[in-house]
Amino acid sequence: MTDIVCPACAAVNRVPPEKPASEARCGKCHQPLFSGTPAELTAGSFDRTIARTGIPVLVDFWAAWCGPCKMMAPEFRKAAQAMEPAVRFAKLDTEAAPQQAAAHGIRSIPTMILFKDGKEVARQSGAMPAGQIVQWVREATRG
């Protein structure tokens, strides 16, 4: 069983290995657990998503006023479409959740942090195209 936190309601779902994760729905709100688009995290759902999701979670720390963040958003979405459900892609608005950004030492945006088993395993600052994001995540999750 793999635990997947629902991007819509933050409920923890246990997905059996014989069930395709791409078809799984939340037992609480019945929304798809994966939609090919990054989950929008909040201050309330951030810690739960990082700690309880049984697959790697890639978080894009961004802000609405950030030009490079806006440029990277469609590329991050393309990477999510290519890699989900093996990796959960998520976004955290640093303006709406400054405590989480500060707790993870975010000093420039966009910054992506890859978490596995609740712990940071890789970090990358600066905008990247989708192919480079996918390659970076694959290299970081090999170990």
Active site (annotated) includes residue 69? yes
Q: Is the pTM of this model over 0.75?
A: yes
pLDDT at 22: 87
Residues sharing a CB contact under 8 Å with residue 141, sequence separation 6 or more, in sequence order: 56, 87, 114, 116, 121
Per-residue model confidence as pLDDT tens digits over 1-11 = 899 999 999 99
pLDDT tens-digit series, residues 51-60: 999 999 999 9
| Cα distance between residue 9 and residue 49, in whole Å | 11
Whether the predicted pLDDT of 86 surpasses 80: yes
Q: Is 6 a catalytic residue?
A: no
